[in-house]
């Protein structure tokens, strides 16, 4: 048989195979049919047919965060493509590598309001790392190579391809491409030696050092090097919401999460340190609170692969441009043990004085359920979360002990993320238990993916922390808006157990403290597919500690305040 | 209106890969951060894979550093330099249509000649003048011509090049 010239769609799928893609998370439509057609002949790639395109993006994102490999999304034009925007934003904010392939109307019809035409390239400019509107089929091999390169290197992020149907349907004679030529794209590696020496000199002077680690430490796998640095210096460590897991949170020098809902002892350390060293974190407003009061007297060192982060929020004393792991490794030989024993003791005392706590009386507490889960999983599970109170309680009570074991939407705070992200994570890491901890509100935003999870037979466990409220918003209304509840009551919630069963998903309900351990264990033992636990927790509980948005750390609330609180001034 | 004060003017030179959409990406960096683009000149390079954008803009000086970094972060941007305060050659071209009945002609032409302008169109009631040079000079000439009646005006926007060995 002659070798026929492949179509653009066939070349795209060949490129996916060459990049080692295992899964494509997709939903079809007219403009994407050539691509779905080409998938028929590519058994190496498994198509995960989702129920909504947003779900596909979060699955690809969860897959990417759990494995470190890019997640691939395939959708049709117009509404199919616009349904991915939330997921693209979510990935962009948290630096997750995605390849989003969008069908498009045929190129002669572009700009003519063709059926299901949307200018998706234009719509997504602000939320992608890069994008391509492909006009020539022969450009596809080069563009596919560049897309994977850009998505996965440097500070990773989503790359979108807008693919007119005549481009995917037309013949592609261009050969495969193995290298990229991108003169405007630089990937920082090891920080400059002189800068490292400056940082080492500042560190040498510190008596109260603090390492503050974020998503960059996870992405680069800096955990081991950070632990070595912490031990060598004798310096405590805190992590951001996204930095959880980079370095084991059960390490003696680890104080847990800092920031708005960080542990009080982590935040006390932030308030009192004389040097703070950011490793792959970006001084986000959930960390900083009130800028003028954030460690005003501490020396600040900032290691980041993205130079645009330097001076964006704070002006560091030294900026180290580079990969978090390689930066810390290069710094290690330049530093010595510090005279910080008193400081480490002080931090340990705060840990004793202000432990995370919750009332054991008065009904089922979310914190208690999560605390039990942590005791049972013993740091061996991957945990994804949705967004809200349950997310913060999970961040506080689930100790993340290995890299890429904590997956949560931080920058975008996207409700609906947690459950589909768990599907992607479980597909990517089939041998590790995956728990999706979600709220009753957020779960309903993407619960249609129960069908996807059931079909894929992924043994993930969904734990709904069901307080019958949009709890986090309710908390703000209670604390800062005089208890004037508005739009937060989840009256009308379905019976989640019956709902799961309707999809053929095994489900339990937890109502009493006495049920918790037993049912969690049953779920852990269940491996025939996804399962769900509806934990009916007390309705009106609040997440503490809390640094109100825009407030300084000195205004941290360790428990429910007696006095009336002013409306927060910070972002959202 | 939305521009914060003080609004210092800056001239930024951006070397970009000649890819579709690059102009939109660059413009979005400014728009998002409340910067007004006062003029923008895009021109091809000797190597047709690249283009040069010369952008004059105004806004909060503290934000400019972020803008430059965000521009540089764009995959298609090779270089982005703020040339404010640098040793540079700056030029602009203006075409000005001035009302010019015969009785005013001598005076208008004297102004043009003094500033080394060129008359590129001669009508019975109006002239089109071509002025090149620094933006200040063009502003000044426009001021002098105003009393005669400027009917229309088109300015090219500023272009610049760093002196000597420095790169633009
Ligand atoms: C898509 C989206 N819409 C709105 C919000 C604002 N928001 C943040 S937390 C929250 C409440 C979440 O409620 P639920 O999922 O029940 O979790 P809980 O806080 O009760 O644990 C809301 C509405 C958001 N983060 N994302
Ligand atoms: Mg809730």
DSSP A301-313: EEEES-GGGTTTS
* B9-82 to CATH, choices 3.40.630.10, 2.40.50.700, 3.30.70.260, 2.60.40.1510: 3.30.70.260
Architecture of domain A366-544: 3-Layer(aba) Sandwich (3.40)
Topology adopted by domain A193-353:
Rossmann fold (3.40.50)
CB contact under 8 A, B66 and A150: no
Site to probe by mutation for ligand 1, drawn from A260, A385, A387 as the one with most ligand atoms within 8 Å of Cβ, is A387
Residue of A nearest to B29 (CA): A126
Residue A81 burial (C-beta neighbours within 10 Å; 0-12, 13-18, 19+)? buried
Which pLDDT value is given to residue A1? 46
Are A216 and A157 a contacting pair, CB within 8 Å? no
Alpha carbon A260 to its chain centroid, in Å, reads 17
Q: How many CB atoms lie within 10 A of CB A33?
A: 16
List beta partners, residue A25: A48, A73
3-class secondary structure per residue, chain B: CCCCCCCEEEEEEEEEECCCCHHHHHHHHHHHCCCEEEEEEEEECCCCCEEEEEEEEEECHHHHHHHHHHHHHCCCEEEEEECCCCCEEEEEEEEEEEECCHHHHHHHHHHHHHCCCEEEEECCCEEEEEEEECHHHHHHHHHHHHHHCEEEEEECCCEEEECCCCCC
ipTM summary value: 0.93
> How far apart, in whole angstroms, are the C-alpha atoms of residue A126 and residue A107?
23
Stretch(es) of chain B classified as CATH 3.30.70.1150: 88-161
Nearest CA to ligand 1 atom 4: A415
- State the DSSP H helix or E strand holding residue A367, giving kind and residue range, or none if neither: helix A366-377
- State the DSSP H helix or E strand holding residue A255, giving kind and residue range, or none if neither: strand A254-257
Number of residues written out for chain B: 168
> How far apart, in whole angstroms, are the C-alpha atoms of residue A462 and residue A98?
24
Which pLDDT value is given to residue B1? 37
- State the DSSP H helix or E strand holding residue A232, giving kind and residue range, or none if neither: helix A223-233
Topology adopted by domain A8-169:
Rossmann fold (3.40.50)
Parallel/antiparallel/unpaired status of strands B88-99 and B126-133 = antiparallel
Cβ partners under 8 Å of residue A293, min gap 6: A552, A553, A554
DSSP state of A125: G
Domain ranges of chain A: 8-169, 193-353, 366-544
Which pLDDT value is given to residue B85? 85
Chain B residues touching residue A306 (CB < 8 angstroms): 73
* Per-residue tokens: A220: 């680069």
- Helices and strands (H, E) in chain A, number of each type: 23, 18
Which pLDDT value is given to residue A197? 98
| Shared fold status for A8-169 and A193-353 | yes
Regions of chain B with pLDDT less than 50:
1-5
Positions of A annotated as catalytic residues are: 53, 115-116, 165, 472
Q: How many CB atoms lie within 10 A of CB B123?
A: 10
pTM strictly above 0.80: yes
DSSP A380-400: -SEEEE-SSHHHHHHHHHSPP
State the distance from the centre of ligand 2 to the C-alpha of A71, rounded, in angstroms.
Answer: 29
* Per-residue tokens: A99: 């390849």
Stretch(es) of chain B classified as CATH 3.30.70.260: 9-82
Q: Token match 């390689």: residue?
A: A326
> How far apart, in whole angstroms, are the C-alpha atoms of residue A334 and residue B163?
41
CB contact under 8 A, A184 and B66: no
Instruction: Please give chain A's pLDDT, 572 residues, in tens.
Output: 457 899 999 999 999 999 999 999 999 999 999 999 999 999 999 999 999 999 999 999 999 999 999 999 999 999 999 999 999 999 999 999 999 999 999 999 999 999 999 999 999 999 999 999 999 999 999 999 999 999 999 999 999 999 999 999 999 999 999 999 999 999 999 999 999 999 999 999 999 999 999 999 999 999 999 999 999 999 999 999 999 999 999 999 999 999 999 999 999 999 999 999 999 999 999 999 999 999 989 999 999 999 999 999 999 999 999 999 999 999 999 999 999 999 999 999 999 999 999 988 899 999 999 999 999 999 999 999 999 999 999 999 999 999 999 999 999 999 999 999 999 999 999 999 999 999 999 999 999 999 999 999 999 999 999 999 999 999 999 999 999 999 999 999 999 999 999 999 999 999 999 999 999 999 999 999 999 999 999 999 999 999 999 999 999 999 988 888 888 888 77
List beta partners, residue B52: B15, B43
* Per-residue tokens: A84: 């991915």
State the distance from the centre of ligand 2 to the C-alpha of A543, rounded, in angstroms.
Answer: 12
Cβ partners under 8 Å of residue A138, min gap 6: A172, A173, A174
CB contact under 8 A, A121 and B70: no
Are A95 and A156 a contacting pair, CB within 8 Å? yes
Which pLDDT value is given to residue B4? 44
Residues with CB under 6 A from ligand 1: A 386-390, 413-416, 439-442, 465, 467, 469-473
* B88-161 to CATH, choices 3.40.50.300, 3.40.630.30, 3.30.70.1150, 2.90.10.10: 3.30.70.1150
Which pLDDT value is given to residue A265? 97
Given CB atoms, is B112 within the 8 Å cutoff of chain A?
no
* Per-residue tokens: B86: 């640098």
Helical H segments across A237-280, by residue range: 264-272
Ligand nearest to the CA of A390: 1
Parallel/antiparallel/unpaired status of strands A158-164 and A130-133 = parallel
> How far apart, in whole angstroms, are the C-alpha atoms of residue A51 and residue A71?
17
> How far apart, in whole angstroms, are the C-alpha atoms of residue A311 and residue A302?
10
Phi and psi, residue B54, nearest 5°: -110, 120
- Smallest CA–CA separation between B18 and chain A, in Å? 11
């Amino acid at each position: 048989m002659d070798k026929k010239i492949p179509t653009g769609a066939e070349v795209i799928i060949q490129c996916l195979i060459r990049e080692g893609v295992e899964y494509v998370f997709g939903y079809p439509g007219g403009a994407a049919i050539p691509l779905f057609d080409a998938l028929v002949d590519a058994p190496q790639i498994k198509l995960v047919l989702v129920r909504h395109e947003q779900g596909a993006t979060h699955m690809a994102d969860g897959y990417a965060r759990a494995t470190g490999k890019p997640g691939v999304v395939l959708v049709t034009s117009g509404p199919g493509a616009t349904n991915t925007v939330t997921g693209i934003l979510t990935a962009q904010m948290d630096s997750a590598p995605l390849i989003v392939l969008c069908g498009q109307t045929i190129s002669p019809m572009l700009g003519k309001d063709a059926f299901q035409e949307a200018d998706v390239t234009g719509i997504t400019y602000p939320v992608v790392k890069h994008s391509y509107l492909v006009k020539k089929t022969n450009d596809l091999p080069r563009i596919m190579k560049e897309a994977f390169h850009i998505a996965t290197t440097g500070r990773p992020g989503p790359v979108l391809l807008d693919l007119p149907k005549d481009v995917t349907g037309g013949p592609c004679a261009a050969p495969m491409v193995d290298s990229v030529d991108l003169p405007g794209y630089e990937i920082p590696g090891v920080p400059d030696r002189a800068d490292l020496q400056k940082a080492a000199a500042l560190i040498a002077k510190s008596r109260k050092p603090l390492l503050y680690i974020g998503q960059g430490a996870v992405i680069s796998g800096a955990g081991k090097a950070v632990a070595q640095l912490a031990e060598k210096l004798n310096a405590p460590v805190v992590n951001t919401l996204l930095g959880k897991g980079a370095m084991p949170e059960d390490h003696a020098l680890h104080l847990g999460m800092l920031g708005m809902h960080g542990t009080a002892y982590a935040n006390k350390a932030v308030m009192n340190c004389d040097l703070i060293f950011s490793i792959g974190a970006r001084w986000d407003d959930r960390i900083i609170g009130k800028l003028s009061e954030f460690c005003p007297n501490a020396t600040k060192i900032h290691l980041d692969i993205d130079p645009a982060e330097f001076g964006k929020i704070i002006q560091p004393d030294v900026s180290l441009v580079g990969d978090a792991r390689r930066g810390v490794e290069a710094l290690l030989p330049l530093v010595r043990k510090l005279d910080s024993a008193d400081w480490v003791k002080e931090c340990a005392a705060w840990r004793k004085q202000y432990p995370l706590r919750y009332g054991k009386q008065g009904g089922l507490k979310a914190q208690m359920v999560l605390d039990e889960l942590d005791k049972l999983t013993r740091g061996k599970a991957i945990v994804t979360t949705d967004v809200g109170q349950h997310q913060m309680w999970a961040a506080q009570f689930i100790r993340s002990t290995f890299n890429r074991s904590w997956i949560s939407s931080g920058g975008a705070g996207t409700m609906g993320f947690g459950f589909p992200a768990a599907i992607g994570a479980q597909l990517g890491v089939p041998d590790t238990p995956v728990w999706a901890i979600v709220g009753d509100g957020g779960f309903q935003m993407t619960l249609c993916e129960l069908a996807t999870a059931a079909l894929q037979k992924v043994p993930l466990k969904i734990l709904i922390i069901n307080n019958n409220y949009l709890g986090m918003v309710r908390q703000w209304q209670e604390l800062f808006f005089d208890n004037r509840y508005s739009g937060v009551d989840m009256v009308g919630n379905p019976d989640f157990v019956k709902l799961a069963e309707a999809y053929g998903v095994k489900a339990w309900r937890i109502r009493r403290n006495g049920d918790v351990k037993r049912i969690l264990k049953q779920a852990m033992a269940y491996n025939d597919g996804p399962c769900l636990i509806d934990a009916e927790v007390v309705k009106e509980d609040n997440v503490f500690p809390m640094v109100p948005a825009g407030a300084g750390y000195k205004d941290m609330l360790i428990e429910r305040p007696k006095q009336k609180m002013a409306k927060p001034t910070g972002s959202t | 209106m939305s521009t914060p004060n003080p609004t210092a003017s800056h001239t930024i030179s951006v070397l970009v890969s000649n890819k579709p959409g690059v102009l939109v990406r660059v413009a979005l960096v400014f728009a998002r951060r409340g910067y007004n683009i006062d003029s923008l000149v895009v021109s091809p390079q000797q190597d047709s894979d690249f283009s040069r954008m010369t952008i004059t803009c105004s806004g909060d000086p503290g934000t400019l550093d972020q803008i430059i970094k965000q521009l540089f972060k764009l995959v298609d941007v090779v270089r982005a330099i703020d040339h404010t305060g640098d040793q540079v050659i700056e030029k602009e071209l203006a075409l000005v249509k001035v009302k010019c009945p015969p009785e005013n002609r001598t005076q208008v032409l004297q102004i043009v000649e003094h500033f080394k302008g060129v008359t590129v169109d001669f009508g019975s009631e109006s002239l089109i003048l071509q002025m090149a040079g620094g933006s200040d000079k063009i502003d000044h000439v426009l001021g002098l011509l105003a009393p005669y009646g400027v009917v229309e005006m088109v300015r090219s926007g500023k272009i610049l090049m760093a002196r000597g060995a420095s790169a633009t």
